[in-house]
Structure 1
Amino acid sequence: MKTYDEKHVKNIVLLGAAKSGKTTLSETMLFEAGIVSKRGTVEEKNTVSDYHEIEYERGNSVYATSMHTEWRDYKINVIDTPGLEDFIGEVIASIRVCDTAVLLLNAQYGVEIGTELIWDYVDKYRKPTILAVNQLDTEQANFTKTLEEARQALGNAVTIMQYPVNQGPGFNAIIDLLKMTMYRFPKNGGKPEKLPIPDNEQEQASKLHNELVEKAAENDDTLMEQYFEKGNLDEDELREGLKIGMLKHQIFPVFCLSAKNDMGSGRLMGFIDNVAPSAIDMPAETTEDGTAVPCDPAGPACLFVFKTLQEPHVGRLTFFKVMSGEIKPGMELINEKGNTTERISQLFIADGKNRNNVDKLRAGDIGCTLKLKNTLTNHTLCDKSFPGQITPIDFPGPKVRVAIEAKNKADDEKLSEVLAEIHMEDPTLEVEFNRELKQVILHGQGDLHLLVTKWRLENIYKMQVEFLPAKIPYRETIQKPALASYRHKKQSGGAGQFGEVYIKIEPWFEGMPPLKEYPVRDTEEIPLSWGGKLVFNNCIVGGAIDARFLPSILKGIMEKMQEGPLTGSYVRDIRVSVYDGKMHPVDSNDISFKIAGMMAFRDAFHQAAPQLLEPVFELEATAPDFMMGDVMSELQSRRSIITGMDTLNGYQVIKARTPQAELDKLFAALRNVTQGKAKLRSNFADYAPVPPEVQKKLSEEYRKTETVA
């Protein structure tokens, strides 16, 4: 395969809502370039991009897939991405390494659910963007409406480059404002006929061409001067102005397509070749310490891993972008995060499931390799002279969670290994082995994200699993002081057991006054690993309990605090004072005082107005104005407390405090009532008292389990 220099490699990512035609466009681009001899279709399950079994079953993309085309002495690397929010991690990683985003808009539906979420990440990374209005050959196609919605969502940078002459079922012609030519396509698509612009379109085309020229000129002083002198720009000057505007995020050129009928894709590819920036045109990448990394083939060798994929019968595939230098088979590169050296055994250009061997990849190119042992997504491989690690991809935190367990307990260990492997591929799927809740919990981007993971476990890894509700990590504490004593006495022949303990427990808070009722001989403050504190006072005088038994009393109390008397949850923020007791010269021992301390604490706890606490999250919901009523209603129906409202870029932002017990249901409900237009962020805030009726219910459920046990 030909090796291209850094100026002739273009990296694009196809973005858009589900069913906007990304996979069909990628197939058409590969066909136009001669990479495939026949175009596949999603319906026939034979496209280059969607080749995984789950994608065949669902009929849409689940994974981001790398491909390439070679078009007029340029190489175009193409990444086709999923259109559903649940797989946003695949989208973000692809945006991160590509140099131009091609955002597809379905001419039937305009700016759809999910498009604005995708745009947030395109805007965050400031990627040059092309808008492609697709499916102009459908009955409901409406180019004008789609354009208006795009401008409402993305601003005035949306710039018409082409417009359709006859949208609808008979669509076959586009007017191109850069070349001021009409392209008319044959019935089956492909290479168009170049024609003069019809007389009835001249006025509209001239008006839009002038707007395009002004837009291109205003991004560069030299071009602006030439425009003022000549009153126009030639085609090369226009291209230069458009490129500058795209790099500044001030021009998003709009193209017209029927990807299904192969109309407009060749012109789009030509624009990508001639105008869209390459990696060398983009701002330099940076390392974690802020050092710039120019895209220089003569620089130190460095690659950045943006995706890992475990393929059946193949092993681990590692996808990367060459950030600097050249990468060749046989090279040994350092991975500081993996604390290892990796050898690049083979280099490939991927086209879906097919891999093409290459001799080298230069700065700015995208490729993959096999069987790296300790290198994962977000890792950097480089030679010794490279200045550090490339700034990693910032993946979003999870939104929903579920507990998972193997139906066959013998598979527990295997399940842990497989889940770790899946997380390696998909960092947005987090796996938590929660000792407190005694559950393995999956955290994901949505219910579909979790269900696809379950499908993979059952169909790829052949493991039967089940989903269960994820438990809530409640906490227990008390609201008032209480006294209690407990005598542990046991005689069964020979040496017996005896220990008697008197304690006082109180709610602990920072800065509380010292104990007054009893003399405090010494105090131990114990920060608890689950949050809060235990303060333990030794108030024994006169040798009622030997000092050597105090650690055993504390141990008993700590054990009970790890399985609270109310619901079995961790106990926090309590001061315990041991002020009296009795011991036996023969029968007293550590176990006796441990049991006595535990039981005295339990009895005192029930008398001290026990309070169950639940984790509460700070929630931020962003949605359009007209949806605020539905959003507020859902929040309030799920025990949320509204803490503030604000506006941001034409959207309303509601801030609230929401119990974790309601979060999973709330996410699904808000996605439903806002048709996916609400954006949610949540972070743990603190613990707060649960309502009395909830505490009563949970306490009764716990007592039933104790009785059964």
Structure 2
Amino acid sequence: MKTYDEKHIKNVVLIGPAKSGKTTLAETMLFEAGIINRRGTVEDNSTISDYHEVEHERGSSVYATSLHTEWRDYKINIIDTPGLDDFIGEVISSIRVCDTAVLLLNAQNGVEVGTELLWNYVDRYNKPTILAVNQLDTDKASFSQTMEEAKAFFGPAVTIMQYPLNTGTGFDSIIDLLKMVMYKFPQGGGKPEKLPIPESEKERADALHNELVEKAAENDEGLMEQYFEKGTLDEDEMRQGLKIGMMKHQVFPVFCLSAKKDMGSGRMMGFIDNVAPSAIEMPAEITEEGQEVPCDPAAPTRLFVFRTLVEPRLGRLSFFKVLAGEVALGMELQNEKTNTSERIGQLFIADGKNRNPIERLKAGDIGCTLKLKNTYTNHTLNGKGATGNIQPIDFPTPKLRVAITAKNKQDDEKLGEILNEIHIEDPTIEVEYNQELKQVILGTQGELHLAVTKWRLENLYKMQVDFQKVKIPYRETIQRSATSTYRHKKQSGGAGQFGEVSLKVEPYYEGMPPLKEYPVRDTETIELPWGGKLVFNNCIVGGVIDARFLPSIMKGVMEKMAQGPLTGSYVRDVRVSVFDGKMHPVDSNDISFKIAGMMAFKEAFMQAEPQLLEPIQELEVLVPASLMGDVMTELQIRRGMILSMETEHDNQLIRARTPLAELDKLMTSLRNLSQGRAIVRSHFAEYAPVPADLQKRISEEYSKVEMAEAH
């Protein structure tokens, strides 16, 4: 296979909402270039891109898939990405390493909610972007409506390069404003005929062409001067201006497509060759130490691993971009993150499941290798003379959390190893053992992401699992003060146990006045690891309890606070004052006062109007305006409180707060309600009191469990 230099390599990522036609377009691009001689279809599970079994079962992309095509002496690396929010990690890593984003707009739906989510990441990484209006051959296609929405959302950077002469089932002609010709496709698609622009379209085409010339000229002073001198620009000058505009994020060229019928993709590929920037023209990557790493073929070798794929029968595949220098078979590279050396024993260009062996790859190219021992996503491999790690990809935190267990308890350790492997492959999946809840928590981006993870566990790893609800990390506190005295006495031959403790509990808050009833000899303030404080006052006078037993009393209080009296949850924000007690000259010891302190605290706590607190999440819900009323109703049903509403283009951004206990059910309801178009972001806001009726039910359920375990 030919090795291309850095000037003739173009890296593009195909992004767009579900059903926008990314996989079909990728298939068509490979077919146009002659890489494949027959186009597969998503419906028949025969595309190069969607080759995983789970993608065939679901009928849509789950993984980002690397492909390549060769078009007129250029190599175009293509990454086809999933369209659903659940698999956003696959999209983000692909956007990060590609040099141009091809954002597909479904001509039937225009700018969808999913489009906006994807654009946030394209905009964050400032990637040159082509807008590809696809499915112009469908009944409800509307190019004008799609352009209206695109300009409202993306702004004046939307630059029409082409427009369709006709849309709908009769779509077969595109007016190209750069070349000023009409492309007319044969029935069923394929290679178009170049024709003059019809007289009926001359006026419109000329006006749009002039707009295109002005757009190309305004991005460069030299081109602007030439435009003023000549009144126009030639085709090469326009290409130059468009490239500069794309790199400044001031030009988003618009192309017309029917990927399914192979109309328009060849022209867009020619534009990618001639105009879209290569890696060497893009801004330098930056290391964690702030060092610039330009795409320099003469520099020391540097690879950035942007994706890891674990295939049970093949091993671990590491996908990388050559940021500088070149990589060749047999090279030894240093991973500074793990401080290990890695040998490149195999080198491939991937086309779906096909691995094409190659001896070397130049700066700017994308490839993959097998069985690196200690290298994972976000790691940098450096050749001799290169140091530092490239700034990592920032992946989103999980939106859905479940507790996971192996059906066979003997497989718990093995399940942990498998989940760690899955996290390596997909960093948007998080796994943790929660000491407070005594559960292994699996975090995913949504229900579909969770379903695919379960499918992988059961089908690829042969691991049967169960999911349970994640317990809610409630907190307990009190609403008034109370006192209690507890005597611990135990005699069983020989030395006995004796300790008596009298204490007062109060709700603690910042700036509360000092204790008045009893003299405070000393105070200890403890910042609790789970949040809040314990203020412990020693008010003992006259030596009724020896000072050496005070730490044991506090230890007993702390143990009970770690498993609260009401529901077994952590206790926070309490002031405890030990003011009296009794000792025995022989039987008093640390354990006696620890137990007495614990039980006195428990009794006083239950008399002080205990209050259960629950975590509250702050939400941002982005939905089409037509669904706003239904979404607000759903939030209120889930004990949500609406904070504000804002209009964002044709959508509504609703800010609200809802209890964490309602969040999973809410996510499911919103996804069903909006047919997956709602985008929900959440973060912890505060702890707030649980309603009295719900507190009673939770407390009673806890008491029943305690009684059952006691028997």
When the two structures are superposed, what TM-score results if normalisation uses the length of structure 2?
Answer: 0.95
Residue matched to 1:499: 499
Aligned to 2:33: 33
- 2:117 partner amino acid: L
Check if 1:534 corresponds to 2:531.
no
In the superposition, relative to structure 1, how do residues 652 and 138 fare at CA in structure 2: closer, same or farther (>3 Å)? closer
Q: Is the CA contact 1:537–1:577 (under 8 Å) kept in the aligned structure 2?
A: yes
Query: Which position in structure 2 is the counterpart of 1:478?
Result: 478
* Counterpart Cα distance in 2 of 1:329 and 1:530: 51
2:429 paired residue number: 429
Q: Name whichever of 221-230 and 247-256 sits farther off.
A: 221-230
Alignment of 1:37-116 (within 5 A): 37-116=37-116
Structure 1 residues 361 and 472, CA gap change in structure 2 (3 angstroms): same
**Worse overlay, 628-637 or 392-401:** 628-637
Cα offset, 1:708, TM superposition:
1.3
Query: Residue 511 of structure 1 aligns with which residue?
Result: 511
Cα distance in 1, alignment partners of residues 622 and 534 from structure 2: 40
More divergent stretch after superposition (566-575 vs 215-224): 215-224
- How far the C-alpha of 1:47 sits from its partner, in A, is 1.2
Q: Is the 8 A contact 1:535 1:575 kept in 2?
A: yes
| Equivalences for residues 522-561 of structure 1 within 5 A | 522-561=522-561
Following TM superposition, by how much is the alpha carbon of 1:667 offset from its aligned partner in structure 2, in angstroms?
A: 3.2
Aligned residues: 709
What per-residue deviation string (whole Å, max 9, x for no partner) do you get for residues 130-164 of structure 1?
11122222233322222222222222222221222
Give the stretch that moved more between structures: 20-29 or 50-59: 20-29
SS of residue in 2 equivalent to 1:54: helix
Query: Would the aligned equivalents of 1:113 and 1:676 in 2 still touch at CA under 8 Å?
Result: no
Q: Which residue of 2 aligns with 1:595?
A: 595
1:147 equivalent in alignment to 2:151: no
1:699 corresponds to which residue? 699
- SS in structure 1 opposite 2:303? strand
User: Offset of 1:630 from its aligned partner?
Assistant: 4.0
Give the Cα separation in 2 of the matches to 1:192 and 1:625: 40
Partner of 2:276: 276
1:661 is aligned to 2:661: yes
Return the alpha-carbon distance in structure 1 between the equivalents of residues 210 and 490 of structure 2.
98
Q: Which deviates the most, 377-386 or 232-241?
A: 377-386
Give the Å deviation of 1:79. 0.1
Q: Deviations over 1:46-103 (max 9, x none)?
A: 2111111110000000000001111111000000000111111111111111111111
Q: 1:113–1:675: 8 Å Cα contact kept in structure 2?
A: no
Q: CA deviation at 1:554?
A: 2.1
1:114 is paired with a residue whose SS is helix
1:129 pairs with 2:153: no
User: What is the percent sequence identity of the aligned residues?
Assistant: 74
Q: Distance in 2 between matches of 1:112 and 1:545?
A: 71
Verify the 8 A CA contact 2:160 2:255 in the aligned structure 1.
yes
Tell me what 2:181 maps to.
Answer: 181
Aligned residues: CA RMSD: 2.1
What is the aligned partner in structure 1 of residue 380 from structure 2? 380
* More displaced 10-residue stretch of structure 1: 615-624 or 455-464: 615-624
Cα shift at 1:413: 1.0
Alignment match, 2:445:
445
Q: 1:644 to 1:196 in 2, by over 3 A?
A: closer
Residues 636-692 of structure 1: CA deviation (Å, up to 9, x unaligned): 333333445556667654443332222233333444445555443322222222222
Gaps of 5+ in 2: none
1:409-468 residue CA offsets vs partner (Å, 9 max, x unmatched): 111111111111111111111112111111111222211111111111111111111221
Indicate the residue corresponding to 1:562 in structure 2.
562
Give the 3-state SS of the residue equivalent to 1:680 in structure 2. Answer: strand
Where do 1:248-267 residues align within 5 Å?
248-267=248-267
Aligned residue identity for 1:638: R
Instruction: Say if 1:628 and 1:121 are closer, same or farther in 2 by CA, change over 3 A.
Output: same
Question: Higher mean Cα deviation, 142-151 or 459-468?
Answer: 142-151
Match of 1:331 in 2: 331
Cα distance in 2 for residues equivalent to 1:20 and 1:420: 33
Q: Is the 8 A contact 2:153 2:649 kept in 1?
A: no
Distance 1:362 1:573 in 2: 61
2:307–2:425 Cα contact (<8 Å) kept: yes
- What corresponds to 1:685 in structure 2? 685
CA distance, structure 1, for counterparts of residue 360 and residue 552 of structure 2 = 67
TM-score normalised by length of structure 1: 0.95
Q: Deviations 1:562-586 (Å, cap 9, x if unpaired)?
A: 1100010011122222222223333
Work out the CA distance in 2 between the residues paired with 1:117 and 1:45: 27
Map of 2:611 onto structure 1: 611
Aligned mates of 1:468, 1:221 — CA distance in 2: 63
Match of 1:247 in 2: 247
Residue by residue over 1:16-39, the C-alpha shift from the partner in whole angstroms, topping out at 9 and shown as x without a partner, is 111211111111111222222222
Output the CA distance in 1 between the equivalents of 2:536 and 2:134. Answer: 70
Q: Structure 2 CA distance, aligned partners of 1:679 and 1:507? A: 39
* 8 A Cα contact 1:14 1:101, kept in partner: yes
Write the letter of the residue equivalent to 2:594: K
State the distance in 2 between where 1:555 and 1:71 align: 73
Q: Which moved more, 1:307-316 or 1:490-499?
A: 490-499
Tell me the equivalent position of 1:302. 302
Give how far 1:278 is off.
0.7
- The amino acid that maps onto 2:445 is Q
**Mapped contact 2:113–2:679 kept (Cα < 8 A):** no
CA separation in 2, counterparts of 1:503 and 1:683? 38
C-alpha distance in 1, partners of 2:656/2:200? Answer: 56
Is the counterpart of residue 410 in structure 1 residue 410 in structure 2? yes
For the Cα contact (< 8 Å) 1:243–1:275, is it kept in 2?
Answer: yes
Deviation at 1:393, TM superposition (A): 1.4
- 1:109, CA displacement in angstroms? 2.5
Assess if the C-alpha contact under 8 Å between 2:617 and 2:684 holds in 1: yes
State how 1:281-360 maps to structure 2 within 5 Å.
Answer: 281-360=281-360
Corresponding position of 1:236? 236
Name which of structure 1's ranges 425-434 and 506-515 shifts more when overlaid on structure 2. Answer: 506-515
Displacement of 1:15 in angstroms is 0.9
Which whole-Å CA distance do the structure 2 matches of 1:674 and 1:40 have between them?
31
Deviations 1:495-524 (A, max 9, x none): 333222211112222333333333333333
Give secondary structure in 2 for the equivalent of 1:517.
coil
Range moving further from structure 2, 154-163 or 349-358:
154-163
Name 1:620's counterpart in structure 2. Answer: 620
- Residue identity matched to 2:123: D
Would the alpha carbon gap of residues 312 and 324 (structure 1) be closer, same or farther in structure 2, given more than 3 Å must change?
Answer: same
| Greater mean deviation of Cα atoms: 629-638 or 199-208 | 629-638
AA aligned to 2:21 is G
**1:288–1:313 Cα change, 3 Å:** same
Residue 548 of structure 2 aligns to a residue whose secondary structure is helix
**Residue type matched to 1:233 in 2?**
L
Quote how far apart the aligned CAs of 1:315 are: 0.9
| SS in structure 1 at match of 2:187 | coil
Which residue of the partner structure matches residue 24 of structure 1? Answer: 24
Q: Is the 8 A contact 2:619 2:682 kept in 1?
A: yes
User: Taking structure 1 as reference, are residues 7 and 330 closer, same or farther at Cα in structure 2, changes over 3 Å only?
Assistant: same
Greater mean alpha carbon deviation, residues 88-97 or residues 617-626: 617-626
Is 1:64–1:94's contact at 8 Å kept on the other side of the alignment? yes
Counterpart-to-counterpart distance in 2, 1:678 and 1:56: 25
CA contact (8 A) 1:499 1:583 kept: yes
Deviation at 1:265, TM superposition (A): 1.5
Instruction: Report the secondary structure of 1:155's partner residue.
Output: helix
- Give the letter aligned to residue 185 of structure 1: F
Q: 2:586 corresponds to which letter in structure 1?
A: V
Q: How does 1:389-404 map to 2 (within 5 A)?
A: 389-404=389-404
Q: Return 161-170 or 94-103, whichever deviates more.
A: 161-170
1:502 and 1:578 in contact (8 A); partners too: yes
| C-alpha distance in 2 between matches for 1:296 and 1:279 | 9
Aligned to 1:118: 118
Moved more, 569-578 or 671-680: 671-680
Structure 1: where are the runs of 5+ without partners? none
Shift of the alpha carbon at 1:353? 1.1
**Contact 1:68–1:76 (Cα < 8 Å) also in 2:** yes
Alpha-carbon distance between aligned partners in 2 of 1:658 and 1:313, rounded to the nearest angstrom: 45
Q: For residues 626 and 213 of structure 1, do their structure 2 counterparts lie closer, same or farther at Cα, with a shift above 3 Å needed?
A: same
Q: Is the 8 A contact 1:349 1:355 kept in 2?
A: yes
Q: Is the 8 A contact 1:627 1:674 kept in 2?
A: yes
